[in-house]
Amino acid sequence: MQKSVAIVGGGPAGLVAAKTLLHHGGGAKFKITVFEAAERVGGMWRSLPGETGVKCSPSMRTNLSRFTVAFSDLSWASVDLSEDSRTSTTLPMFPKACQVGRYLDAYAQRFLPGVIQLNTRVAAAELIGESGTWNVTYIDTLTQQESKDTFDYLIVASGFFERPTQSIRRSQDPEASTKIQHSSHFRNISSLTETPGKIVVIGGGISGSEAAATAAFQISSARHSTSTQKPAWADSTVYHIINRPFYALPRYIPQDPYNPAIQGYNPAPHFLPLDLNLYNLGRRGGGSITASNGLMPAEKAKKAHEFIRNVIGGDQRDLGKDELVYKPADTQYPAFTGISDTYAEFVRSGLIVPVRGHVANIAYHDNDDEAADRFNVEILDNGSFNEDKGVRKSCLCPSRQE
């Protein structure tokens, strides 16, 4: 007898879970239902070209290459990426978010026909004690009709990035909503401000470093444009508030950065996408490969720091900002990274200014004379900045003077 399975979410995890169970035992063991609240599958990748995007821009590049951003049972070559019938699109090494969405849609059409219920939001799931089954309540988002079904198993794949996190306290100033924006919603500086000033990015994770680099790139492009009319915000500077250093990794890194023959850096290394280098099993020790959980041993952490420094050519001291440099005592702890092709050079040029500290509060002040170090433009909150009980810095942001 078939067992029924409800899967909440039609993103990558939900789709591959559905396909795996559906094909288990020749397709006769499980009856699968995937509930997806949006109008199409893909999760954060579902936006189409020309759309704003719900959780990221459709034009955002992946941080890993097309060889990693794929399932083993569907080749990118099988996916039609053309935007219309008259043009063909060559798949880049690092696909755009909208192309990943097209890939996931093709995956669903090929392996999961008739399994996915779109525009259907799961409102509640209750475990029935004696039977061990689940009562699932779901709502059609178009008609608002509520329905209930019972399932033998439940898989929640609603997404790690489903809701932005904003744990920093901020004032109730009426202008606050127009001045503070989560990184998942950030697209263009022009939508945030029309005046020059200090743009603050809070958080040193993957999203924070990418938001800072994106803002700096837009400022640099506007500043050095051949146009005679440049936007006023082209004179802005990005202040990136981080609570610890991180290594800014480009998408391509050298495969052989060190040349033992000359006992120094290889002047002409071979470059590969960073995931092909970082995931290279040839660097692992002997014996079977097993998963490791828990705290990273200090010796392993130090080797990771050494490897990354060999790859990027040093400890980032050459960028001129000690905020990005791990002290020797800190290399016993895991190394954090951001992925950006431009972040490091924007720091070197002074367009991005890293600031070490914790942001506890965001307040608005009308008096610009109270402090010289207050920020006077918008804030991009990347949401990965967790509340901390230790020492913090306050980010004070006076309201913009008209």
Residue 41 lies in a domain: yes
Q: How confident is the model at residue 398 (pLDDT cuts 50, 70, 90)?
A: very low
- CA–CA gap between residue 205 and residue 211 (Å, rounded): 10
Which residues are paired to 380 by β-bridges?
181, 201
Residue 300 CA to residue 298 CA, distance in Å, equals: 5
What pLDDT digit, counting tens, does each position of 260-273 carry? 888 888 889 999 99
Is residue 290, in this structure, part of any structural domain at all? no
Q: Both 137 and 37 in a single domain? A: yes
| Predicted structure pTM score | 0.86
**pLDDT of residue 117 exceeding 50:** yes
Segments forming the whole domain that contains residue 137:
3-156
* pLDDT of res. 384: 38
Output the pLDDT for position 192.
85
Quick one: pLDDT at residue 182?
84
**Are residues 224 and 326 part of one domain?**
no
The residues pairing with 248 across neighbouring beta strands, listed in sequence order, are 338
Cα 38 from Cα 9, distance rounded (Å): 9
Clarify whether residues 75 and 126 are in a common domain. yes
Report the chain's terminal Cα–Cα distance, integer Å: 70
Question: Which residues have C-beta within 8 Å of that of residue 360, sequence separation ≥ 6?
Answer: 168, 169, 392, 393, 394
The verdict on residue 289 lying in a domain is no
Instruction: Say which residue, 287 or 195, is predicted with more confidence.
Output: 195
Average pLDDT over residues 304-316: 94
Largest CA distance in the chain: 75
Position 304 pLDDT exceeds 90: yes
Q: Does residue 148 sit in the same domain as residue 7?
A: yes
Taking residues 27-44, report their average pLDDT.
95
Cβ(47)–Cβ(58) below 8 Å? yes
* pLDDT tens for each residue of 342-368: 999 999 999 999 999 988 777 766 655
The tally of domains found in the chain comes to: 3
Q: What is the 3-state secondary structure (H, E, C) of 68-133?
A: CCCCCCCCHHHCCCCCCCCCCCCCCCCCEHHHHHHHHHHHHHHHCCCCEECCEEEEEEEECCCCCC
pLDDT at residue 361, as a whole number: 77
Between 380 and 242, where is the model more confident?
A: 242
CATH number for the domain that contains residue 233: 3.50.50
Phi and psi torsions of 313, nearest 5°? 90, 25
21 CB neighbour count, 10 Å cutoff:
19
Nearest to 382 by CA among 159, 167, 242, 207: 207
pLDDT at 88: 66
Residue that terminates a domain, selected from 156, 183, 212: 156
> If you average pLDDT over every residue of the chain, what do you get?
86
Give the pLDDT mean for 145-169.
86
Residue 164 included in any domain: no
